[in-house]
Structure 1
Amino acid sequence: MVTSLRSFEQECSSAKDANYQVDRCIDEMTEAIDKHDVDKLCTMWESWNARVFHSLDAEGIKQAQNYEASAYRLFLVQCVQRKNIAKCNEFFRRMSSLTLNNPQWTDWFSFPYNHHAKDTEPFRKYFDKTWIEIYYVSLHNFLSTSLATVSPSVIGTIVEGIARDPLAGDHVDFDEDLIDDFAVIAQCSAPVKRGHSKPSLRNLLKSLTSSKKPSGSTD
């Protein structure tokens, strides 16, 4: 009985630690986006791809690529909202191997100069707060599932490495065309408690909302 109880407690502790590490990963990503840190954001995804997602099946790798692309696009949206076009250009230089001659990125080269992007496809959903919330919850679940077979030491190395050295509003109607694979994954996944990452996500959404206000806005 005692042995079984200790085993159960160890499993619970491991589960909490793994969830905490995923929370930290999400926190680091939202911080990189909020601070317009191109190198940190790209390095994080390069690390995830090399150490975690490379072992997934074809469908899992495709999903990881979709999450990665959306993270970069949320980064571009943040930069445009704060009129930091230089960071957009830096991103396209940094990720030219991904974006050049890629049909999925063709429209995005003109995005920083499109004054009506918020109401234009394919950019519109990246301005929608509900979609953004779904994206982060879904990404959290996807990371948790992907990291299930990765040792805690590897997860810790990824998080600590990125943290130490990045170089190693208004209600919007949620149209049906905004509901994509992220929403499906979020609905099908088990509920996720993001206690450690809530402040960062809340700050990100707060910054998105505040950008709409005429006073104090950086738009």
Structure 2
Amino acid sequence: MENMKYAEELVREFLFFRGFTSTLQSFDKELSTDIGRSFHKDQIFDLIFSLYIPKFNSQSLISLFTFFKQCFSASETLMITTLSKLQISVLRYYIVYAVQSGRNDKVIDFFKLHGADLLQRDQDWMSWFAIPYIKNPNLDPLFRVYFSKEWFDALNLSVRNFLSEIFNGTHIL
């Protein structure tokens, strides 16, 4: 957290030194509305599970995970690997939530936007492309676990624990 404040002061100093006063004003305005400013894990958790997923905002969801990945150095492979696995699970929950909400159109839109990228990273996504066309995916042996309360609870706990680790540790900046 100290490093973050120091970095913000460096940016302010640079903008002031170069005479970019309108940019400095914009920077300060953006910081005042920045949800991640204090890196409060509960706010980030709510952003994922109470805003992005219920509002079917897949682009912001993926952008958030991309931002987190950029915060780790290449030497932190365990954290990057864990984050990638959590991203897969959260995206699968996004799909499950859409199906449970009767919004198969959102699942189809999701795959139109992100399907090619997901398949490039992991071929396990191939079977997920069929989910909007399966009558009862919650009964399908391949997807049944993702519709269970136990899986959702485990996902929630994993995301909370991960956020606690990165925000209470020294992993961000």
TM-score range with shorter-chain normalisation? 0.5 to 0.7
What is the CA distance between 1:92 and its match in structure 2? 1.3
- The 3 A distance-change label for structure 1 pair 55 and 25 is farther
**Residues 29 and 41 in structure 1, CA contact (< 8 A), matched pair in contact too:** yes
The question of 1:99 aligning with 2:133 is answered no
Which residue of the partner structure matches residue 102 of structure 2? 83
Corresponding position of 2:5: none
- Specify the alignment match of 1:111 in structure 2: 131
Partner Cα distance (2:136, 2:39) in 1? 39
Compare 71-80 and 126-135 and name the one that shifted more.
126-135
In structure 1, how many angstroms separate the alpha carbons of the residues matched to 2:42 and 2:96? 23
- CA 1:63/1:150 → structure 2, altered by over 3 Å: closer, same or farther? closer
User: Is the 2:90–2:155 Cα contact (8 Å) retained in structure 1?
Assistant: no
Q: CA deviation at 1:97?
A: 4.2
Number of paired residues? 134
State how far apart, in whole Å, the 1-side matches of 2:151 and 2:159 are. 12
After superposition, residues 43-62 of structure 1 pair within 5 angstroms as 43-52=63-72, 54-55=73-74, 57-62=76-81
The amino acid of 1:45's aligned partner reads: F
Structure-1 separation of matches of 2:118 and 2:38: 32
Question: Is 1:38 matched up with 2:52?
Answer: no
Q: 1:22 to 1:77 in 2, by over 3 A?
A: same
Task: Report whether the alignment pairs 1:123 with 2:140.
Answer: no
Letter in 2 for 1:40: S
Distance 2:100 2:116 in 1: 25
* Greater RCO structure (CA 8 Å; 6+ sep): 1
Instruction: Name the residue aligned to 1:24.
Output: 43
Question: CA contact under 8 A between 1:36 and 1:78: conserved in structure 2?
Answer: no
Are the structure 2 counterparts of residues 25 and 125 from structure 1 closer, same or farther at C-alpha, using a change threshold of 3 Å? same
CA gap 1:43/1:20 in 2 versus in 1, 3 angstroms? closer
Please state whether the residue corresponding to 2:152 is helix, strand or coil: helix
Aligned counterpart for 1:63 among listed residues 82, 87, 112 = 82
Q: What is the RMSD of the two structures over their aligned residues, measured on CA atoms?
A: 2.3
Q: Alpha-carbon deviations, 1:99-143, whole Å to 9, x = none? A: 235321011000111123112233112111122112111211112
Unaligned runs of 5+ in 2: 1-36
TM-score, L = length of structure 1: 0.54
1:73 positional shift: 0.7
- The percentage of aligned residue pairs carrying the same residue is 24
Q: Judge conservation of contact 1:38–1:90 (CA < 8 Å) in 2.
A: no
TM-score by length of 2: 0.67
